[in-house]
Amino acid sequence: MKMSKMFVQTLREYPSDAEVISHKMLGRAGYIKKLAPGIYTFMPLMWRVLKKIENIVREEMDRAGAQELLMPFVQPKELWEESGRWEVYGKELMRLKDRHDRDMCLGPTHEEIITSVARDSLKSYKQLPVNLYQIQSKFRDEIRPRYGLLRGREFIMKDAYSFDIDEAGLDKEYKNMAQAYKRIFDRCGLETKMVQSDSGAIGGSVSHEFMVITDTDAGENDVFYCNSCDYSANSNHAVSKLADREVDRKEFFNETKIVDTPNTHSIEELCEFLKIPSTLILKSLVYIADKKPVIALIRADKAVEETKLMNAVSGVDIRIASSAEIAELMSEKGFDAVPGFIGPKGMNGIKIIADETVRDMKNFVVGINQTDKHLVGANLSDLGIELNYADIRLVQQGELCPQCGKPLYVTKGIEVGNIFKLGTKYSKPMNAVYTDIEGKTHPYIMGCYGIGISRTAAAAVEAHYDEYGIKWPVSIAPYHAVIVPVNINDELQMHTAQKIYEDLLNAGIEVVLDDRDERAGVKFKDADLIGFPYRVTVGKTITEGLVEYKVRETGEQEKYTPEQAVKILIQNIKNNLK
Ligand code: ATP
Ligand code: MG
């Protein structure tokens, strides 16, 4: 490719709305062009990167025994009604009507479609197991599209779905996919951690996420991990042991009574006023889960993890209640307390979930739905309510590993892929069954396996960059090398550069010749920004028969004859692609 012909425009500035490295770099280097929030054109350089990632994914999925197909992007409502998700999916599902007024949606994921494809074709146990995948644009009307390709509305995903006759088959395929994922991300030059995760709207019981651990701001997920054993989980799912020393067992109240606690709206103010540690306070929080109020109780030195709470009430949508919703609940129950003084007493009929930290609290302080008052020296028996216990606690750094008891650490991660055991979540309601050897029918045991192709590209930038630009891993770089003649009007320089370019092309190397009539500084800047893994510069030293060879990743530079440079380049690129 001649740089003078290449359809790319590098910019002086980062895009004004870019907050994270990958969005800044991909925007400035001309890889992506925004059309609307979360919707981008993949420019030629970007498309080359995406196709490379897709091909690695294809090769490894095929090697793992999966088969590629392509399902429609626009889907009819009826299938989503069969699975029950038309109601619960929420606003991320982009719904539309066709000219006959039929409800349709843009595919955010394809469980319904693949399950209907399977039930029409996979009738006998003899046809199973099967794993089918596709690589396709998805649309999710994300509430906060941001970070460029990391959280788009339209993005490319690989989604795979497996069908087995039993759990043992699913187990085997789940492991098979985990191994394929490891190979995929390794080949893309990405180090990932496989962490236990919650399965969110897709449902099911067991799931893992593949996280690129990053020290940039782009990591949206907290990952808790143990250095002494293999435990790692995202914050939606992480559990921990608490150290005994956390709770001060000193007796503060030996009598149960209501006391005045004026203006103590926050836990800090209440601790200050009563001169007590926060571990003595039972905190009551009101959430709205699937439109109904839920009260979460937790020891006040800890925080509630919303997804865990949502799972505890088997909900699909959860958020903290607004002051107006709290006021409404209060009036419904005949109280008029303001937030800060809410408590579980008298809340019969409302679902109350207590975190495990509540279990052994004694003589504690709790709101009783009277403004400026709290009950002190309280015990669970004083509350007169029925509690459901669940682990709804957000793990914090320093708490102890649930497996081995050593301290847990927390880091940020970008989720590039995930694997789920779906079981019969879709096959049962959609009546997608196979016939066993005795002629009895059973729903398929399913798994699903996603990889964000466009997110993986952006994550690779987050993991490989410097102040000058991107440092693509060779395997997914848009081109392997760039040849830069310093002065295109110098015949020897241009001739040598042209020769190197052709030799590399002939060897199957993807190479760009920067034949633009620009200053060397401009060409070097663009080469670094775009992130070609290798650069060969043909400048003045060509009169001594030497060119400069430079490795983008390490900055290593060496002078070679043109023939040596070509040979070393071919060797290094081939080694990297193995
Ligand atoms: P997240 O929690 O980050 O929104 P998710 O749990 O919704 O991800 P899945 O539904 O399992 O993700 O989708 C599979 C993969 O698709 C994810 O692992 C991720 O790599 C990618 N992905 C999901 N949402 C987006 C998005 N808005 N933009 C780009 N890639 C995405
Ligand atoms: Mg999502």
Indicate the SS3 state at residue 490.
coil
Residue 130 token pair: 């099967």
For residues 486 and 572, membership in a common domain is answered with: yes
- Structural domains of the chain, count: 3
The model's confidence at residue 201, banded by pLDDT at 50, 70 and 90, is low
Distance, CA of 180 to CA of 433 (rounded, Å)? 27
- Residue 210 Cα: closest atom of ligand 1: 18
- Residue 228 included in any domain: no
- Give me the residues paired with residue 340 across strands: none
Distance, CA of 566 to CA of 559 (rounded, Å)? 12
| 155 touches ligand 1 (CB under 6 Å) | yes
Q: What pLDDT score does 94 carry?
A: 97
Neighbours of 328 (CB within 10 A): 13
- Give me the residues paired with residue 221 across strands: 413
For residues 117 and 211, membership in a common domain is answered with: yes
For residues 311 and 367, membership in a common domain is answered with: yes
Task: State the residue range of the domain holding 337.
Answer: 249-390
Residues 370-401 have pLDDT tens digits of 999 999 999 999 999 988 999 999 999 889 99
177 CA → ligand 1 middle, Å? 17
Q: Render the burial of 131-160: b for 16+ CB within 10 Å, e for the rest.
A: bbbbbbebbbbbeebbbbbbbbbbbbbbbb
- Give me the residues paired with residue 275 across strands: none
- Residue 430 included in any domain: yes
| CATH number of the CATH domain containing 173 | 3.30.930.10
Distance, CA of 337 to CA of 284 (rounded, Å)? 13
For residues 439 and 550, membership in a common domain is answered with: no
Alpha carbon separation from 493 to 344, 406, 539, 547 (Å, rounded): 81, 62, 6, 9
- Ranking 82-91, 110-119, 506-515, 539-548 by mean pLDDT, the lowest is 82-91
Distance, CA of 130 to CA of 165 (rounded, Å)? 10
Contact 276, 267 (CB under 8 A): no
For residues 72 and 217, membership in a common domain is answered with: yes
| CATH number of the CATH domain containing 336 | 3.90.960.10
For residues 383 and 496, membership in a common domain is answered with: no
Q: What pLDDT score does 217 carry?
A: 83
Indicate the SS3 state at residue 284.
strand
| CATH number of the CATH domain containing 543 | 3.40.50.800
For residues 447 and 513, membership in a common domain is answered with: no
In percent, the amount of the chain with pLDDT more than 70 equals 98
For residues 89 and 214, membership in a common domain is answered with: yes
For residues 287 and 138, membership in a common domain is answered with: no
Pocket test for ligand 1, best of 415, 448, 456 (most atoms within 8 A of CB): 415
Whether the ω angle into residue 129 lies within 30 degrees of 0, i.e. cis, is yes
| 22 touches ligand 1 (CB under 6 Å) | no
Q: What pLDDT score does 386 carry?
A: 87
Distance, CA of 196 to CA of 240 (rounded, Å)? 13
Q: Whose CA is closest to 341, among 259, 413, 278, 418?
A: 259
Alpha carbon separation from 254 to 46, 276, 360, 362, 393 (Å, rounded): 68, 14, 16, 10, 28
Q: What pLDDT score does 525 carry?
A: 97
Residue 287 dihedral angles phi and psi, to the nearest 5°: -120, 165
Tallying the residues shown for the chain, one arrives at: 578
Residue 102 token pair: 């039929």
Distance, CA of 197 to CA of 205 (rounded, Å)? 10
Which protein residue's CA is at the shortest distance from atom 24 of ligand 1? 151
Alpha carbon separation from 435 to 122, 170, 237 (Å, rounded): 9, 17, 36
| 38 touches ligand 1 (CB under 6 Å) | no
Indicate the SS3 state at residue 120.
helix
208 CA → ligand 1 middle, Å? 13
The model's confidence at residue 199, banded by pLDDT at 50, 70 and 90, is low
For residues 434 and 502, membership in a common domain is answered with: no
Question: What is the pTM assigned to this prediction?
Answer: 0.88
Q: Tell me how far the alpha carbon of residue 556 is from its chain's centroid.
A: 34
Which protein residue's CA is at the shortest distance from atom 22 of ligand 1? 452
453 CA → ligand 1 middle, Å? 10
For residues 95 and 171, membership in a common domain is answered with: yes
Q: What is the pairing mode between strands 281-289 and 318-320?
A: antiparallel
Residue whose pair of structure tokens reads 């007169």 in the numeric block = 384
Indicate the SS3 state at residue 292.
strand
Task: Give the number of the ligand closest to the Cα of residue 152.
Answer: 1
Residue 37 token pair: 């929030």
| 455 touches ligand 1 (CB under 6 Å) | yes
- Residue 421 included in any domain: yes
Indicate the SS3 state at residue 213.
strand
Residue 454 token pair: 């466009």
Which protein residue's CA is at the shortest distance from atom 28 of ligand 1? 151
Alpha carbon separation from 141 to 36, 91, 157, 537 (Å, rounded): 12, 7, 15, 46
- Residue 292 included in any domain: yes
Distance, CA of 156 to CA of 149 (rounded, Å)? 9
DSSP state of 148: G
For residues 355 and 253, membership in a common domain is answered with: yes
| 109 touches ligand 1 (CB under 6 Å) | yes
- Residue 420 Cα: closest atom of ligand 1: 11
Chain mean pLDDT for the chain: 95
- Residue 464 included in any domain: no
Residue 212 dihedral angles phi and psi, to the nearest 5°: -90, 120
Residue 169 token pair: 């088959």
414 CA → ligand 2 middle, Å? 12
Distance, CA of 340 to CA of 20 (rounded, Å)? 37
Q: What pLDDT score does 200 carry?
A: 55
- Residue 231 included in any domain: no
- Residue 379 included in any domain: yes
- Residue 142 Cα: closest atom of ligand 1: 27
Q: What pLDDT score does 221 carry?
A: 86
The model's confidence at residue 513, banded by pLDDT at 50, 70 and 90, is very high
Q: Which amino acid makes up residue 463?
A: A
266 CA → ligand 1 middle, Å? 36
Residue 516 token pair: 């633009």
- Residue 158 included in any domain: yes
Residues 519-535 have pLDDT tens digits of 999 999 999 999 999 99
| 138 touches ligand 1 (CB under 6 Å) | no
Residues 68-110 have pLDDT tens digits of 999 999 999 999 999 999 988 889 999 999 999 999 999 999 9
Residue 123 dihedral angles phi and psi, to the nearest 5°: -100, -25
